[in-house]
Chain A
Amino acid sequence: MRSKLQALLIGIALCTMHLASAQAGRMTLPNVVEAGNGFSIQSAGNGRATLYIVGPGEALKREIQLGETTSFLPSTLPNAGHYLAVLVSASSRETGEFDVIATTKPANLSFLARPSRLPVSLHEGITGAVYVFDSYQNLIATPTPVSFELSAPSGTVQKRAVISSNGAAWTTMDSTAEQGVDRFAARVGDVSSMRIVAQVPGDPCGLKMNAERVGQQVKLITDPLRDCNGNAIPDGTVVTFSESYKGAQSTVDEPLKHGVAEVTMQVHPGARLTVASGVVVGNQIGWDK
């Protein structure tokens, strides 16, 4: 029993000695390496050893000569992250750690712009968000100036300047009063990314129809439909004509053609005629003829 206890104590003592050796600092590591840069590790002692550098971003294993400087070529460690270095020789084992950080030069932007299509004149209707990456696809977490520009076909430009936080930046823009294709760009330094945002007319404004007798029927026809900014409502937009007579209602849906909708329908004398498109209600006509 006594001999076993003695052996255990010796084992613990050996382990403690090993830990003391590991703390002796026989391996000199860089504190920080910029992604993709070359670096070197200095070791002390004599003989051969195996050097491991591991992290979720890379795994390296090198046979090295102790007492010499081991150099690593550029692009050996392109991925930012935390790395563990382990130097194993026949008589010792030493560990250390260091970080690889993203480069400070942006090279890629991940730019998300939404929506790709929206009505005109919508306050803060367009959003853009970017993540800033270096050439090795590492997120650049240091604050970086980001500019956003929304250019309308008329030449109107909205600009926003934002400082990224933890690699991300965002903004909102108003859609302009004019329909058409806008260009939404995010820029960091000389790197830019562009998205297309289509602005379509808003809801019809001042929806109005006219009625005239055609034989035994009535022809209903709208004025050319435009939104409140004067943009023509696109053909194909559905207009609903309704006749209400003695509590009963009949409706006809017609798509816009050449900017107007028209229908010829049987109408009872004394009926009330209405027109609508989407949520927009137009004028009413009492048909007394």
Chain B
Amino acid sequence: MTELKPILILFAYLTTAQHFAVAQAAVRIEPVNLQGPRPLQDQTRTAVIRDYLQAWQSLHAALEQNRPELLKTDFIGTARDKLSDTIQHQSSQGIRTQYQDRSHDLRILFYSPDGLSIELADNVEYDVQVIDHDKVITTQRENVRYLVVLTPAEVRWRVRVFQSLPE
């Protein structure tokens, strides 16, 4: 049994390491077919998607390290408030979570006539790992559909609504 234990630990580690190796998420962007009067320029679309994907990196870091200040660059308003609350609750219970996005299937749904908000849908695949006082509780792969609203700030688009929906 003593010989078996290190192998099991190694097996568990390899499984975990395989899931959480740093990797670029695959991104697929569906053609834009907006309902609305305002055309979406390629430059705007590129910036929105770039900033949204960056927001996932911030989400990953903030929830893993329980540091709400890491959300500040990419999230604003309700989305930031809710995620900050989650981090506070995680921290008070000794929990950390890692959300590692694996793929995104993005579709821009709505560009408001005033140009002050963009809504997109994202069928995202991610791995979530729950850690309680440095002990990995579980690692799961999830497929979730998100609705996201971004609004422009000084130099970037920030996530204002970040909400998943049932399939």
Contact = CB atoms under 8 A, between A and B. Distances in A.
A150 B162 CA distance: 31
A101 B147 CA distance: 12
A17 B132 CA distance: 23
A82 B147 CA distance: 12
A172 B114 CA distance: 11
B3 A7 contact: yes
Nearest to B110: A168
Contact of B119 (A11, A61, A86, A168): A168
Interface in B11-66: 11, 35-37, 59, 63
Interface in B95-147: 95, 97, 99, 109-110, 112-114, 116-117, 119, 121, 128, 130, 132, 137-138, 140, 142, 144, 147
Given A99-B164, A165-B35, A166-B110, A84 B142 contact: yes
Given A52-B132, A165-B109, A168-B112, A11 B166 contact: no
Nearest to A3: B3
Nearest to A79: B82
Given A58-B86, A88-B137, A167-B119, A139 B4 contact: no
B130 A52 contact: yes
B165 A112 contact: no
User: Chain A binding site: helix, strand, loop or mixed by DSSP?
Assistant: strand
Contact of B163 (A12, A54, A81): A81
A12 B11 contact: yes
A93 interface: yes
Contacts of B89: 58-60
A184 interface: no
A170 B86 contact: no
B76 interface: no
Contact of B7 (A11, A86, A112): A11
B76 to A, nearest CB: 13
Interface in A14-39: 14-15, 32
Interface of B: 3-4, 7-8, 11, 35-37, 59, 63, 78, 82-83, 85-86, 89-90, 93-95, 97, 99, 109-110, 112-114, 116-117, 119, 121, 128, 130, 132, 137-138, 140, 142, 144, 147, 149, 161-166
16 contacts: A11-B4, A15-B11, A56-B164, A59-B97, A80-B163, A84-B128, A86-B130, A112-B116, A112-B117, A127-B112, A128-B113, A131-B149, A139-B149, A141-B165, A168-B149, A170-B36
